[in-house]
Amino acid sequence: MLNDRSLLDLVGAIYDCSMEPARWPETLERIATSVGGVSASLSIHDPLRREARFSAIAHETSEAEHADYNENYVPICPVLTSGWYCEIDEVVSAIAYVGAEEWVNSRYYQGFYKPRGWHDALGLHLAKSASRYSILSVVGPLAKGAFGAGEQQALSLLGPHLRRAASIADLLDARSLQHDMLSATLDLLTVGIVLTDAQGRIAYFNRSADSLLQDRSGLCRAGDFLSARDPAVGDALRAAIATASGGGVLAMPRSGIALPIPRAKGQDLAAWVLPLDAGLRSELAAPFAASVAVFVKELGDTSPFPGELFVKRYAITPAECRVLMLLAQGMSPAEIADVLGLSLPTVKTHLARLFDKTGAHGQAALMRLAVSALAPGRMEPHARPQIKSPGS
């Protein structure tokens, strides 16, 4: 489990990855080991298109393996829609999310996890867009059993740092950066970043931050210094920068120093102030003589998933959603029971509750609703994936 020293080292390694993406496999392996896992990955999931794209992974995999996973296992993954139910920085285990019995009896577990000696998985939700969500996943060995609350809490400490590393990588365009690699994964292209010294003197700002500074309705420049339209907010911002400059990662709150920035017009802003430590200070901050990064974002600018709106509108539970997602692929109740490792009566109970919640009269009406709400336009209900049997 992570202690103060190992957490500091691991956070430093995460920021180093923003400069050298080739370090991600080693860093992901360290993240996995820190919570008792055997492998980890960063990926984006699109539940409606039933696709997963890996940006970084601890162990080597071929394009053929990725294609096989997307074709045969992603469409039946019991945790595929977790982004519709979980908040940013929330960590869930597959067993806790799905239920132990249903998880181990599912076709997904029997065909993909069990042959690899894997048992449970932790997922740290990092970002959402209108159609996708990004997630750090850690898989655990069969001998370990289920992940516990302590391991979930330890992994959640890394969420803010992973997002900030992605933002810095995209916005500073370091020579060693593979452009669009991790930044596209985490959907943080609109985050503003201002680098300052200990007194708040601006050393660098990206295009998004420049737009906010030019607007002057919230943040502004006071000569060469970062400030705010509201004098009290400006004082608080300078105090946060001074605190961040004098401390390290462990001295900071988990999400950095967070400050609300009221605006005279438009959506209010939120700022997070974080020290530039470890590899960032020597490799990134040195050219700018900066010691603090200020991340700025409009409040409430995260668009919800269409699927997330749908499940919230009808109060559909994760278990009912798993049934509905497979129904949208044209599966019969018997096929759904086989894929999810459930009894047929249990599937029919979920269907009955879906009828009641959505007002659909019969399976055909529910099927039409599911296809219209949960299937992308390019995938017709009969275009079903070819699901392999366990061990094939």
Tell me, yes or no, if the two domains 4-161 and 306-374 fold the same way.
Answer: no
pLDDT tens for each residue of 158-169: 888 887 776 655
84-109 pLDDT per residue, tens: 999 888 999 999 999 999 999 999 99
> Percent of the chain beyond pLDDT 90?
38
363-373 pLDDT, tens digit per residue, is 888 888 777 76
The Cα 294–Cα 189 span in angstroms is 15
Which CATH entry fits the domain spanning 191-298: 3.90.1330.10, 3.40.190.80, 3.60.20.10, 3.30.450.20?
3.30.450.20
> What letter represents residue 129's amino acid?
S
Domain parsing of the chain, residue ranges: 4-161, 191-298, 306-374
Q: What is the CATH number of domain 306-374?
A: 1.10.10.10
- Please, where are the H alpha helices in 20-93? 24-34, 63-72, 82-85
pLDDT in tens, 111-159: 999 999 999 999 999 877 767 888 999 999 999 999 999 999 989 888 8
- Report yes or no: 56 and 42 within 8 Å, Cβ to Cβ: yes
3 state DSSP class of 49: coil
What single DSSP character describes residue 325?
A: H
Angle in degrees, CA 328, 329, 335, rounded to 5:
105
Q: Is the pLDDT of residue 40 over 90?
A: yes
Buried-state track 364-375, b at ≥16 Cβ within 10 A, e below 16:
eebbebbbebbb
Other residues' Cβ atoms within 10 Å of the Cβ of residue 208: 20
Superfamily, domain 4-161:
Transcription factor LuxR-like, autoinducer-binding domain (3.30.450.80)
> What is the pLDDT of the chain when averaged over all its residues?
80
Query: Comparing C-alpha atoms, which of 134, 137, 133 is closest to residue 123?
Result: 137
